[in-house]
Amino acid sequence: MIAYLSVPLVRTETISLSDTEIISLLEADSIAGTMALYDRYVAPLILAIFRIVREKERADEILVKTLVIVSKTYSTNLKQKENLLPWVMAIAREQANLFRLEKTAAIIDAAGVAS
């Protein structure tokens, strides 16, 4: 069972932009594009990340890292502009899994040192 997860809201109004419009905003101004991406997809992204890492603070950090990666790499790595969410979700899951692997490695290293 997943603990209650509050999604931080930056704005009170809802903005309904298509993936293509978000990409256009990213191309014109990465901050506005990143904000639009956050507004549209924060809930599914934070939930997917939290399911993997099980720590709210780490999930928030991974979400920010994911958005930075997306804003820097969309122009070279996103093949179909209409399929933004699956691509962003793959990045979020990859970052969450990397965190989980690093955490596991640290635990194993600590156990090895203690032996």
CATH number of the domain residue 39 falls in: 1.10.1740.10
Higher per-residue pLDDT: 33 or 8: 33
Instruction: Give the C-alpha separation, 94 to 89, whole Å.
Output: 8
Res 100: pLDDT: 94
Locus of tokens 């069972």: 1
Report if residue 4 sits inside a domain: no
**Comparing C-alpha atoms, which of 110, 100, 85, 76 is closest to residue 20?**
85
Query: For residue 109, what are the domain limits?
Result: 19-114
pLDDT tens-digit series, residues 51-102:
999 999 999 999 999 999 999 999 899 988 888 999 999 999 999 999 999 9
In degrees, to the nearest 5, what angle opens at C-alpha 6 toward C-alphas 34 and 100?
A: 75
Report if residue 12 sits inside a domain: no
Q: Which spans in the chain are helix H?
A: 19-28, 30-53, 56-77, 84-114
Would you say 68 and 31 are in contact if contact means Cβ atoms under 8 Å apart? no
Report if residue 7 sits inside a domain: no
Would you say 99 and 53 are in contact if contact means Cβ atoms under 8 Å apart? yes
Would you say 5 and 53 are in contact if contact means Cβ atoms under 8 Å apart? no
Domain count, the chain: 1
pLDDT tens-digit series, residues 33-65:
999 999 999 999 999 999 999 999 999 999 999
